[in-house]
Amino acid sequence: MAHVSLRNVTRIAAGRRIVDDVSLEIADGSCQALLGPSGCGKTTLLRLLAGFDALDGGEIRFDDDVVARPGRQLEPEDRRVGMVFQSYALWPHLDVAGNVDYALRVRKVARAERRSRVEEALEIVGLPGFAERKVQNLSGGQRQRVALARCLAMRPRLVLLDEPLANLDAHLRETMIDAFRAFHAASGATMIYVTHDQAEAMALADRIAVMDQGRLRQVDTPVRLYDAPCDAMVARFIGQGQLLPVEVLAPPVSGQVRVRLYGYETDLRCEAGQGGGTATACLRPDAIAIAGTGDAGIAAHIRDVRFEGASQLVRIAPVSAPQTPLLLRTRGPVPAVGALVHVTVDDGWILPHAAQEAPETVAFERAQAAE
Amino acid sequence: MTNDRVTFKRAAMIAATLGFMFSAGSAHAQSGDLVIYTSTPTEQMDELVARFNETYPDVNVEYFRSGTTEVINRLQAEFTAGAPQPDVLLIADTVVMSQLKADERLMAYADAPIAGTDAALHDSDMTFFSTKLITTGFMVNTDNVADPVTSWVDLADEAIAGRLMMPSPLYSGAALIHVGTVTNLDGFGWDFYEALADGGAVAGRGNGGVLDAVARGEMDYGVIVDFMPLNAKADGSPVDFIFPDEGVTAVTEPVAILSTANNVEAAQAFVDWQLSEDGQRFHVEQGYLPLREGITPPDVFPAMDAVNVITIDPALLMEQTEEIKRRFADLFGG
Amino acid sequence: MSVAQRDHPGALRRRFPDMGAETLILSALGLYVVVLCIWPLARLLATVFADGAAEGIAFIAEVWSGRAARRATWNTLEASFLATIVSVLLGAATALIVALTDLRYKVLLVFLLLLPLLIPPQISALAWLAMIGPQSPLWLIPGLEAVRPDRNPLLGRDGIVLVMGLEHAPMVFLAVRAALRSLPADLIDAARAAGSRPMGALLRVILPLMLPAMTAGAALAFVSAIGNFGVPALLGIPGRYPMLSTLIYQRLSGFGPGALPEVASLALILAGMAVIGIAAQTLILRRHAAAVDRVGATHGGFALGRWFWPVTLAVWALMLLIAVMPLVSLAASALVPSVGMRLTWQTLTFDNLIYVVTGLGSAQRAFVNSLFLAGTAAVITVCVCAPLAWLMVARRSRVAQWLNVAADAPYVLPGIVLSIAVILVLLPPLPILGISLYNTIWILLFAYLARFLALALRPVVAAMAQIDRAGEEAAQMAGARPFHRLRTIILPLLAPALGAGAILVFLGAFSELTVSALLWSRGSETVGVVIFSLYDEGNSTAAAAVSVWVLAIILGLALAVSTLGRRLPEGVLPWRM
């Protein structure tokens, strides 16, 4: 239960700024995800919070106590922070109980209380009666839970998780997400969670911080990240966003503005103060639909269809711009490949102005076109 | 160790006082620790100590045994560090003793009982004394060779040199004397050794290795000290020892007292015993040739008056020591 | 009042990271290594430069350019290199066969393979000499009489290469087998799925992956070969093949301590070669030492099919020849009354064996002394290795890594050089205690501790590199300080390697010869010295008899440890699968 505050945190290694001037406030008891592609610095940031690496600039505080500053550092042993490692890092020479109560032994907690806390922790993570088991005999999911139980028993004020679901299969992931929720509820600790998988982040976190190349891009709730990404990187990273140049036709009215793309006019969301002229729109596949016969829309040919179970992901090539295909998701029947259809855009978001000048926009479009 | 030194220093003083109070003949009063550095083989050293203690039961003998040169190395290291340990040295050859004498490391024992032995074998200044006669000839493997040669020159034969093994003067005192003597001998010199080298003769380390190689049949001939193959032959090994026609070289296993000796009384007693009849008879039992007249040599030896012992001036050898070692090493794989 | 202040009142006041415990451990270890490994050798070097730096360097140059030194250097490089090739071929081939095929009785096979680790080098050389010599029972086998050589072919370069190669093959074997164990089965299966036959999978997938392990094993074998003394002494000196170790020994023996400066200069050459070898090993390990998940499935092995019997026969015949026959020949030479006699029912006698343990005081003392020294050295060394390896690997301490390099020096240099150095520093009385350790058994212990530190460090450091770093970090997060982590997490995980290190040190120290040769005195004889002395005195039957007893003790201990081995964790006993 700690409020975590990062101010201008920077870490430099091998001449590169791996974490670049990151400032973040994490509310007491919340679950914060650090999301981003590999190499973006999220794991380093986690290790700075844990105390394994020293920062070169800025400050980290837990509840107003300075925990790290350049040249000053509170050791991991003293931070009362729990960590769930990607490899689980269970100790093979100790059994499950030995792993879970290790921190309690360090603090010289009496045996009776240790045993009860171990059992309590194992109950919460769904492994009752596993205390005597050997670590080697456990499956991946069970080890994950033991790692969680180890954290629980410690009663930490902050829990750090490093890509905890990365090594699990899809079904197990579902179970584990529930386990995490139960864990969060039971411990009441602040949780900070590193992942490259947005679905994971969105399922668990109260807020998500998107990082790229050491810098924070956007810190927001999952909904807002999805609906209103602040720049091209976030837009593309979350929810298969597609970036297209559009022409703004009129000033915004209560958050919406009329635009034209590929000769088709529709209303998209935008921020207040959106000016006219060209802009970049972020369109999600779910917001594009195949129009009924006879309805107006962007003319396009169907390139291929991917079955996704509940829906289908269709790649189309607009007639007016066959080099830049679009993805759309639909539940209804899909015409054959090669057929000509009309598609409508039901929703979208105009990237804010500042992002529009960003050169990454162009690069991302080109990259998308190459797909 | 310091405590021990104090203890037997005191003991030595008491012994000396007692010895002075009682007349000569109270040799049995010697006591305390006696440290000997020697190149005598271990088994024999154990027997020697036991026999010595029959006459001098109160002397506690401790010894360090290794090849002559290793013993001297150790001693030199101790000199360098300023704390030499032994009271008595009992090593193979007089050349090393001469060197130590020249370095003023030895203590003279003017009253040593050398009567009955050839004075020429002992140091003129009574700093070291020979104890026995060990000759160097050559041995042969009787399983491999039916009709062995009998002279040194024959060894240089190509057919034979390739099956010959020798001890090296870098490890063995006896070998040093031997090579030194032969290279200074008319008709031999370094040419002889070069011929051996060309013929493929091989040099090992000490005499023990020669005995091993020849007895096991790997080599047919081996230059070696007398008692080793003769004793082995008595035990059943297929070997024989040849006293060559030209003669043999000899080492006398001198004993000396160090100038830094702690227990001088016991050291002198040891020298006395080595030269005494009892000591000399003991050497015979061990298979060596005695120095003292009137003591019968071991059975395995032939009549010694027929054997020609070639001697050399130790001072000359002392000068040439370094050169001998280096040239030998160069010839035989240094 | 914040949570942190309540729980850890001192925490907020902490200014600098807590290096207290680590620094303490590091200082203690540093003192240990400096006193044991650096101080004696530095003192020895000082004798070279006693006359000043310029003279010293000129002197070194003169020695290095001398004919004897050049020849010995070339021979050392040549023989060591060739011996390393033999070791790698034999070690790697047998590791592959043992790990990848369905041969039977593997435990016995591995044990025979690892025998050279147990047998002291000079006993090996003696045994081989006995086996190839004319008296060998080998020639009793019908048909072989025709190939019986006149002169022992082992004398000289070829013999040295063969015996040293066999002696160091276990090092390569252990390295490659460890690597094979951690090779995931998927890689091999993937190759076979791609259409590769087992042989092809071997050549294209397994061997390239084994290259780091083979190179590391080769580096180890090379460094051991250049410092080897026992084999070149017995096979090289009479074989007219001088190597640096025997040249040093010969110079010291022949010319006394006056040759110390020359000897020190020669030792520098050896040191240089060793440094290159170790640097190569470190480089390779660093690039390839990933923390491997050991719980992954390892490959079950290929079925040999129609190759089963040919391979089995070939392998066992080889084992018989290189592991069993030499020992049999050695025993045969102990059972005859006098050297050179052929062993027959009439000549058979147990007198020698009985004599050396009942009648030979020096041998009796030697057994007791060697057991004591080897055991003590093993325990102390292992206690030092654990924290040192931890500091080196887990804490990435630069100082600890330099200490590791320093520890290699006394192991690589010829034992005789080390013993001279030890004499120089320990002959005068110790500074505070005022007593001299010279002529006591403690000077031997000192020298053994210096010599064998590197030997135990290697498996322990390798094991430390295998431990997942996250394991220790997790312990840190749980609040455990350095000492506590060492005790509860690191030590248990290192325990197998520590056990292996202790066993290696014990075996190395038990019948050690070259260091002990100048340091022993009456009362502190060691087994190796007694064997060597008896041989030198011409009493080779007694030497062989003592060797037989040594082998019996070592093999007995190995057997005892092996039966207990079922309770020991995996990896302690090198020969257990």
- Does C296 lie at the interface with B, CB-CB under 8 angstroms? no
* Contact between C477 and A157 using a beta-carbon 8 Å cutoff: no
Q: Which segments within B105-179 are labelled E, that is strand? A: 106-107, 128-129, 134-141, 164-166
pLDDT tens digits, A79-95: 889 999 988 899 988 99
The residue whose two tokens read 């397994």 is C206
Domain span at B106: 2-133+252-286
> Counting one residue from A and one from C, how many pairs have CB atoms under 8 Å apart?
95
Of chain A, the percentage scoring pLDDT greater than 70 comes to 95
- Return d(Cα C34, Cα C407) in angstroms, integer: 9
On whether both B276 and B256 belong to a single domain, the answer is yes
Region C504-516: mean pLDDT is 85
Q: Is residue B315 part of a domain?
A: yes
Q: At what angle do helices C540-564 and C527-536 cross, to 10 degrees?
A: 160
CB B112 within 8 A of CB B201: no
C472 falls within a domain:
yes
Residue B323 domain-assigned?
yes
Looking at every residue in chain A, the average pLDDT score rounds to 87
The burial class, CB within 10 Å (0-12 / 13-18 / 19+), for C548 is buried
Is B96 a domain residue? Answer: yes
Question: If you average pLDDT over residues A186-215, what whole number do you get?
Answer: 89
Label residue B106 by pLDDT band (50, 70, 90).
very high
Q: Is residue C164 part of a domain?
A: no
Look at strands A4-13 and A16-26 and give their pairing. Answer: antiparallel
In C, minimum Cα distance to B201 occurs at: C238
DSSP character at residue C302: B
DSSP for C420-449 reads HHHHHHHSSPPTTT----TTSHHHHHHHHH
pLDDT of residue C117 exceeding 50, the answer is yes
Show the domains of chain A with their CATH numbers.
4-226 (3.40.50.300), 240-370 (2.40.50.140)
How far lies C255's CA from each of B70, B169, B323, in Å? 10, 10, 11
The answer to whether residues B319 and B217 belong to one domain is: yes
Give the domain CATH number at B225: 3.40.190.10
Q: How far is A215 from chain C (nearest CA, A)?
A: 26
Report chain B residues whose CB lies below 8 A from the CB of C344.
none
Q: Based on the domain organization, do B109 and B7 belong to the same domain? A: yes
Our measurement of the distance from residue A185's CA atom to the centroid of its chain's CA atoms, rounded to an integer in Å, reads 20
In a domain, C547, yes or no: yes
Nearest CA-CA distance, residue C303 and chain A, Å = 28
CB C503 within 8 A of CB C572: yes
Do B165 and B66 share a structural domain? no
Give the pLDDT of residue C223.
82
Q: Helix axis angle, C415-426 relative to B68-81, nearest 10°?
A: 30
Long-range contacts, C9-16 (Cβ 8 Å, 24+): C11/A74, C11/A78, C12/A65, C14/A72, C14/A74, C14/A75, C14/A78, C15/A72, C16/A71, C16/A72, C16/A73
Residue C538 contacts A, CB cutoff 8 Å: no
Interface contact A164, partner C, CB < 8 A: no
Cβ of residue A188 closer than 8 Å to a chain C Cβ: no
Please, do chains B and C touch (3+ CB pairs < 8 Å)?
Answer: yes
Question: What is the structure's pLDDT at A4?
Answer: 92
Across the range B283-294, mean pLDDT stands at 84
Q: Which residue has the higher pLDDT, C152 or C178?
A: C178
C140 within domain boundaries: no
Cα separation, C219 vs C211, in Å, equals: 12
Reduced to 3 states (helix: H, G, I; strand: E, B; else coil), residue C32 is: helix
Rounded to the nearest angstrom, the minimum Cα separation between C340 and chain B is 4
Question: Taking residues B50-60, what's their average pLDDT?
Answer: 91
Question: Chain A within 8 Å of C314 (Cβ-Cβ)?
Answer: no
C199/A180: higher pLDDT: A180
Q: What is the pLDDT of residues C160-173, one digit of tens each?
A: 999 899 988 988 99
Please determine, for residue B8, whether its predicted confidence score (pLDDT) is greater than 60.
no
Give the residue with greater pLDDT, A99 vs B294. A99
> Count of domains in chain B?
2
Asked if residue A102 has pLDDT above 80, the reply is: yes
CA–CA separation, C239 and B29 (whole Å): 53
Window 464-523 of C: residues touching A by CB (8 A cutoff) are: 468, 470-471, 473-481, 484, 488-489, 492-493
Q: Tokens representing B231?
A: 């004793």
- Whether C286 has a pLDDT exceeding 70, the answer reads yes
H or E element at residue A340: strand A340-345
Do residue B246 and residue B199 come from a single domain?
Answer: yes
What does each C-alpha distance from C73 to A270, B138, C243 come to in angstroms?
Answer: 81, 34, 7
Within a domain: B224: yes
B214 and B282 inside one domain: no
Q: Which of A59-68, A171-180, C141-150 has the highest mean pLDDT?
A: A59-68
Of B73, B85, B218, the CB nearest to C257: B73
**Cα of C482 to nearest chain A Cα, Å:** 9
Percentage of chain C beyond pLDDT 70 is 88
The answer to whether residue B212 neighbours chain C at the CB level (below 8 Å) is yes
Q: Specify if B294 maps to a domain.
A: no
Same domain for B327 and B182?
Answer: yes
Residue B295 lies inside a defined structural domain of this protein: no
Lowest mean pLDDT among B298-302, C65-69, C171-175, C369-373: B298-302
Whether pLDDT at A357 is above 70: no
Determine which of C346, C522, C535 to mutate to test the interface with B (most B C-beta atoms within 10 Å).
Answer: C522
Alpha helices, DSSP H only, in C66-181? 67-100, 106-113, 115-118, 121-132, 157-181
| pLDDT at C566 > cutoff 80 | no
Half-sphere exposure of B238 (CA within 13 A, CB side): 22
Is C474 close to A91, i.e. CB distance below 8 A?
Answer: yes
Rounded to 10 deg, the angle between the B42-55 and C527-536 helix axes is 90
Q: What pLDDT score does B96 carry?
A: 83
The pLDDT tens digits for B239-255 are: 999 999 888 998 888 99
- Decide if A82 and C477 are in contact by the 8 Å CB cutoff: yes
| Residue B146 included in any domain | yes
Chain B stretch 251-310, residues whose beta carbon is closer than 8 A to a beta carbon of chain C: none
- Work out the mean pLDDT of chain B and round it to a whole number: 83
In chain B, what percentage of residues exceed pLDDT 70?
90
Please report the pLDDT score of residue C199 as a whole number. 73
C492: which chain A residues are within 8 Å (Cβ-Cβ)?
A: 93
Q: Kindly state whether residue C490 falls inside one of the protein's structural domains.
A: yes
C76 Cα distance to chain centroid: 18
Q: Which of chain B's residues have a Cβ under 8 Å away from the Cβ of C439?
A: 1, 85
**Whole-Å CA distances, B285 to A58, B49, B231, C362:** 92, 14, 11, 21
- Does residue C16 have a pLDDT over 70? no
Mutation target among C71, C145, C243, C338 for the B interface, most CBs of B within 10 A:
C338
In a domain, B298, yes or no: no
pLDDT band at B77 (very low <50, low <70, confident <90, very high): confident
- The pLDDT, as a whole number, for residue C210 is 81
ipTM (interface predicted TM): 0.79
pLDDT digits (tens, 9 = 90+) for C342-363: 788 888 889 889 988 888 888 8
In this complex, which of C11, C478, C492 lies closest to A103 when CB atoms are compared? C478
Residue C462 resides in a domain: yes
Tell me: do B6 and B152 sit in the same domain. no
Closest CA to B197 of B36, B334, B20, B88: B334
* Shortest CA distance from C241: residue in chain B: B333
In terms of Cα–Cα distance, which of A112, A80, A82 is closest to A99? Answer: A82
Indicate the average pLDDT of chain C.
81
| Full residue range of the structural domain in which residue C542 is found | 353-394+428-566
Per-residue pLDDT for C7 more than 60?
no
Enter the pTM of the model.
0.75
Distance CA A38, CA B39 (A): 74
Whether residue B224 sits in one domain with residue B174: yes
| Averaged pLDDT, B108-115 | 86
Q: Which pLDDT band, with edges at 50, 70 and 90, does C256 fall under?
A: low
Q: Which of residues 106-135 of B touch C (CB under 8 A)?
A: none
Q: Residue C381: which CATH number?
A: 1.10.3720.10
Report pLDDT for C8: 40
Do B213 and B243 lie in a common domain? Answer: yes
CB B159 within 8 A of CB B233: no
Cα dihedral across residues A104, A105, A108, A113: positive or negative: positive
How far is residue A222's CA from residue A220's CA, in Å, rounded to a whole number? 6
Q: Does C440 touch chain B (CB under 8 A)?
A: yes
- The whole-angstrom separation of Cα B328 and Cα B190 is 9
pLDDT at position B23 is 36
Three-state secondary-structure class, residue B36? strand
In a domain, C369, yes or no: yes
Q: pLDDT band for position C572 (50/70/90)?
A: low
First vs last Cα of chain A: how many Å apart? 45
pLDDT score, position C161: 94
Q: Report the percentage of chain B scoring pLDDT > 90.
A: 32
The count of structural domains within chain C is 1
pLDDT score for C146: 65
pLDDT greater than 90 at residue C416: no
Both B18 and B124 in one domain: the answer is yes
Q: Provide the b/e sequence for C231-250 (b: ≥16 CB within 10 Å).
A: bbbbbbbbbbbbbbbbbbbb
Distance from CA of A301 to the nearest CA of C (A): 39
Tell me the chain A residues in contact with residue C474 when contact means C-beta distances shorter than 8 Å: 83, 85, 89, 91, 150
All partners of chain B with 3 or more CB pairs under 8 angstroms: C
Are B and A touching by the rule of 3+ CB pairs within 8 Å? no
From A323, C133, A271, select the one nearest B217 (Cα to Cα).
C133
Do B60 and B89 have their domain in common?
yes
Residue among A65, A75, A109, A157 with most chain C CBs within 10 A, to mutate: A75
User: Torsion angle of alpha carbons B101, B102, B105, B110, nearest 10°?
Assistant: 40
pLDDT higher for C417 or B112? B112
Cβ contact C255–B46 (<8 Å): no
8 Å CB contact between A324 and A318: yes
* Candidates C70, C234, C237, partner chain B, best to mutate (most B CBs within 10 A): C237
Query: In this structure, what token pair is assigned to residue C68?
Result: 């004897």
Q: Which of A50, A54, A73 sits opposite C477 (nearest CB)?
A: A50
pLDDT at C11: 43
Q: Is residue C94 part of a domain?
A: no
User: pLDDT category, B18, cuts 50, 70, 90?
Assistant: very low
pLDDT, residue B22, reads 38
- Residues A117-166: tens digit of each pLDDT: 999 999 888 899 898 999 989 988 899 889 989 988 988 889 999 988 88
- Determine the residue type at A307: F
- Rounded to whole angstroms, the Cα distance separating C107 from C101 reads 13
The residue of A95, A106, A154 whose CB has the most chain C CBs within 10 angstroms, and thus the best one to mutate to test that interface, is: A106
Which of A148, A227, A136, A158 lies closest to A182 in space, CA to CA? A148
Helix, strand or coil, per DSSP, at residue B13: helix
Closest C-alpha among C275, C276, C271, C277 to residue C45: C271
Contact B270, B255 (CB under 8 A): yes
For the stretch C46-66, pLDDT in tens is 877 777 778 878 888 888 888
